[in-house]
Amino acid sequence: MRCGGVALLLAAVALTTRCERRDVLELGDADFDYLAAEHETMLVMFYAPWCGHCKKLSPDFAKAASWLKGSVQLAKVDCTANADTCRGFGASAYPLLKVFRNGVDSGTYDGPRTAEGMVHYMKKQTGPDSVLLRTEEDLQAFINNYDASIVGFFQPDSAGLPEYLKAAALLREQFRFAHSSDPSLGQPYSLQQQGVLLFRPPRLSSRFEEDSVLYKDHVTVASLRRFIRDNLYGLCPHLTLENKDRLRVRDLLTVYYDLDYRLNPTGSKYWRNRVLKVVSRYSSRGLSFAVANKNDFLSELEEDFGLGMSEGAELPLVTIQTRLGHKYTMREEFTRDGSSLERFLDDYFSGLLKRYIKSQSIPENNNSPVKVVVAESFEDVVNQPDKDVLLQFFSPRCPHCKKLSPVYIELAQQLYLDPNIIIAEMDATANDVPLGYDVQGFPTIYFAPAGKKDQPIRYEGTRELKDFVKFLKRESRRPLVLNGVREEL
């Protein structure tokens, strides 16, 4: 029985996987044009079988296809076997995802690459750019949504309606739009004649701010976009993996807890209201606020803020991250009356908080030719005003870094007796990378010149000893001392 049960389970899993794969349409040079034209909205993945990123995306893509079945078609094109089609749509790096409407290329897909994210994004691609609302019931059904809603109220001959619909067509991938020719539907929300109302999601309703915001100015695409951007999230929005980049363009305080409006709406609202009660008194001081599901950001909380899940497991965790990359954590336990959060904010605005810096320990012995830099010692080593510093950001697991190591050590040895230059390295996986240094891959090498520490120069040359020396001779304002011999300028 036990073996039979396992066999049945494995068969069911295999059947589900095959069904998900069948939900993804396979297109090629011979049939792309006429099959794509049969679908009102379609998401196409251009891929190569050898592509690691494609293999990683494939299960989520298949799952999204299954969830979207009947509303949005998902398809894929093997570019190693269908070069003409892929070339025609500019597929040269994989995977490339594009949205098609009735077979016409509508643009590159730039949404999330998780199954849930693709479903959420593609559902916004279906139907009209702006939904026509005729009755109060239509309006209530539209705004009673998990996401925010934008509704325009215009007379049929209004000059503002065409511009509003143009904005809806351009912004539909980001926001939900509807319109009505009956302005009386907007009267309960302070609309007198014509205008646009932004309705925040009902799940974020609170007594600390209005549920809707009225836009009464002349409608243009630019002004409407600005209005939505400034009012969409309200005082304390729900930070997610999908919107985090948009919310983090400002200095942001985030409260993390067991937030789930679908499975735990009561607890989610309870803690958010505790937060709102406090932060509403600080809303005009240049700091933005958000709440987030702690489980969505576990690795970030631990790696970037040093907050393990054993700390206040049942209580919210609080962080601040500024646009400059400065980070702060609330170490005091979150109190239900909000007093600890209030003290944390008062200390932040008074400049009394100590920044959190992810850093290895400063080495006790740092006399080798290649100096070890950690985040805590960066200022003292790299930003010495009278020293030129060549700094390599590396990862211990990076094979290119390991290959560079003997060359980098030899460079440091040749310059060891030069009193004006430091050859250094920093493990960028274990230390915060300072502002001004863009590290996306490894190794990344920068030169921090004496007297110009705010203008580091990225090294773009080959990783050969002679090329490093040539670069340093060019960038350093003083002659190098190579193997104890001072070079001539």
Is 51 tagged catalytic?
A: yes
Position 488 pLDDT exceeds 80: no
Identify the pLDDT of residue 147. Answer: 87
Which run of H or E residues covers position 468? helix 465-475
Position 404 pLDDT exceeds 50: yes
Partnered with residue 317 across adjacent β-strands are 256
Integer Cα distance of 74 and 53 in angstroms? 18
- Encode pLDDT of 54-93 as tens digits: 999 999 999 999 999 988 999 999 999 999 999 999 998 9
Q: Which residues contact 92 (CB under 8 A, 6 or more apart)?
A: 86
Is 54 tagged catalytic?
A: yes
Identify the pLDDT of residue 2. Answer: 47
pLDDT band for position 11 (cuts 50, 70, 90): very low
Integer Cα distance of 373 and 448 in angstroms? 13
Four-residue CA torsion sign, 46, 48, 49, 54? negative
Integer Cα distance of 1 and 454 in angstroms? 70
- Encode pLDDT of 238-260 as tens digits: 999 888 988 999 999 999 999 99
- What pTM was estimated for this model as a whole? 0.69
Identify the pLDDT of residue 110. Answer: 86
Identify the pLDDT of residue 241. Answer: 87
User: Beta strand 421-427 with 370-372: parallel, antiparallel or unpaired?
Assistant: parallel
Q: Mean pLDDT lowest for which of 25-39, 117-131, 360-374? A: 117-131
Q: Mean pLDDT lowest for which of 145-159, 182-196, 308-322, 398-412? A: 308-322
Residue with tokens 């920093």, as numbered in its chain: 426
Q: How many CB atoms lie within 10 A of CB 366?
A: 14
Is 236 tagged catalytic?
A: no
Catalytic residue among 79, 86, 236, 401: 401
Identify the pLDDT of residue 310. Answer: 62
Retrieve residue 273's tokens. 């209201």
Catalytic residue among 54, 79, 86, 236: 54
The number of helix segments (H) and strand segments (E) in the chain equals 15, 22
Position 390 pLDDT exceeds 90: yes
**In a 3-state reduction of DSSP, which class is residue 150?**
strand
Partnered with residue 113 across adjacent β-strands are none
**In a 3-state reduction of DSSP, which class is residue 438?**
coil
Position 111 pLDDT exceeds 90: no
Q: Are the CB atoms for 369 and 376 separated by under 8 Å?
A: no
Position 7 pLDDT exceeds 60: no
pLDDT band for position 1 (cuts 50, 70, 90): very low
**In a 3-state reduction of DSSP, which class is residue 282?**
helix
Q: Are the CB atoms for 306 and 356 separated by under 8 Å?
A: yes
Integer Cα distance of 145 and 143 in angstroms? 5
> Dihedrals φ, ψ of 386, to 5°?
-100, 10
> Dihedrals φ, ψ of 385, to 5°?
-65, -25
Identify the pLDDT of residue 8. Answer: 39
Is 86 tagged catalytic?
A: no
Q: Mean pLDDT lowest for which of 110-124, 254-268, 300-314, 453-467? A: 300-314
Q: Please, where are the H alpha helices in 190-338?
A: 221-231, 244-247, 265-279, 298-305
- Encode pLDDT of 135-166 as tens digits: 999 999 999 998 899 999 998 888 889 999 99
CA distances in angstroms from 218 to 229, 236, 379, listed in the order given: 17, 28, 51
- Encode pLDDT of 207-224 as tens digits: 999 999 999 788 899 999
Identify the pLDDT of residue 156. Answer: 85
Identify the pLDDT of residue 362. Answer: 96
Catalytic residue among 3, 19, 51, 236: 51
pLDDT band for position 309 (cuts 50, 70, 90): low
Partnered with residue 151 across adjacent β-strands are 178, 197
